[in-house]
Amino acid sequence: MIRTVKTAVVGVTGYAGAELARLLLRHPRLKNDPPVFAGRVDEKDAARGGVPLAEIHPSLADSKGSGTLRLQPFSWDLFTDLEVDILFLATPHEQSRTWVPEALARGIRVIDLSGAWRLNEAVNREVYAFEDEGSAQAASIQAEAVYGMPELHRAEIAGARIVANPGCYATSIILPLKPLVQAGLVDLKHGIVADSKSGVSGAGKAPSAKTHFMYAADNLSAYGVFGHRHTGELLEQIGIDSSDIIFTPHLLPIPRGILSTVYVHFKETQTRASLAHVYHAFFAGSPMVRLYEKTLPQIQHSVHTHYADIGFQLAADGRRAVIVSCLDNLLKGASGQAVQNMNVMQGWGEAEGLE
């Protein structure tokens, strides 16, 4: 018999939450035990047992009973009574900082899609201005939080109680850069440039002036220059200093998808074969990374998939390269990676429910 696990999702109303619900409802290990969906529910809806999931996301209704699932009023006792094993938090950063300690105290493992626990260094966390920064409890949880990128931390994720799901931009830059930097090939004195472009869904579901149709449509704009909150993830996970990289995010007038173009110099002359060998060796056993051999990745080929696509072009002098990385910001950049982390935590096939 296939062993199952009881899951719960808080934050299902957002874009990433909707994708997470869809993945968990179709996951082969969870067929007979759908997730618990909990969140803010008003008194009227609470009286009828919660809000039907199909009313929140009509696309999740099907002929297999998913249409009967409801968003129930949030309650820790609800999770305890239903013996929830893994709690997915697709919530704001401040909310996750408040709820993770309670979940861990109740013996519930957490996969947090926010940035609440991604950063180990206090200087990098300053961008979030957490109210509990410096407290003993926050320091204790941060010390055991594992950065949820299986390609880098597979062994640690397997036994983790709290997994901090990476940022979408960060995933698109760390994966193409880490193998080269770890191998000692990159000349950091020349600096790295990461030019990234994301679809509008990366900003979340809450509307703003810059995600309004009249601003985003037929437009391309840079933002968060020298101050984007994903920068700290790049520094910590790649193992570089802030002076080693310039990261500039841009808003694309498309619903979803990320393309990052990364420019590097090498310490010594490289060949295409030598770089390909580094990538293949690093990502051996990583089913959610696709390496492009003859062409460069494009958003249209990565969107609606759970893969990170990586390709590169080497300059004729062998000392410079342009690396292109593409992924779906709501999947490999968020919910798909969260499910990938669950698979690793449970000892299941890493790609189960994702291919």
The phi, psi pair for 320, rounded to 5°, reads -135, 150
- Just list the catalytic residues: 168
Considering the domain 7-166+334-346 in this protein, what is its CATH number?
Answer: 3.40.50.720
Pick the CATH number of 168-329 from 3.30.390.50, 3.40.30.10, 3.40.50.1980, 3.30.360.10: 3.30.360.10
pLDDT 10s per residue in the chain (355 long)? 455 799 999 999 999 999 999 999 999 999 889 999 999 988 888 888 889 888 888 888 875 555 679 999 999 999 999 999 999 999 999 999 999 999 999 999 999 999 999 999 999 999 999 999 999 999 999 999 999 999 999 999 999 999 999 999 999 999 999 999 999 999 999 999 999 999 988 777 776 777 778 777 888 899 999 989 999 999 999 999 999 999 999 999 989 999 999 999 999 999 999 999 999 999 999 999 999 999 999 999 999 999 999 999 999 999 999 999 999 999 999 999 999 999 999 999 999 999 8
- Domain ranges (residues) in the chain: 7-166+334-346, 168-329
Full-model pTM? 0.94
In the sheet with 192-198, reading across from the earlier edge strand, the strands are 221-222, 245-251, 192-198, 258-265, 320-327, 308-314, 289-291
Which tokens in the block code for residue 177? 């850069």
What single-letter DSSP state applies at residue 121? S
Q: Are 66 and 32 in contact (CB under 8 A)?
A: no
**DSSP of 6-58, one letter per residue?**
-EEEE-TTSHHHHHHHHHHHH-GGGTTSPPEEEE---HHHHHTTSEEHHHH-G
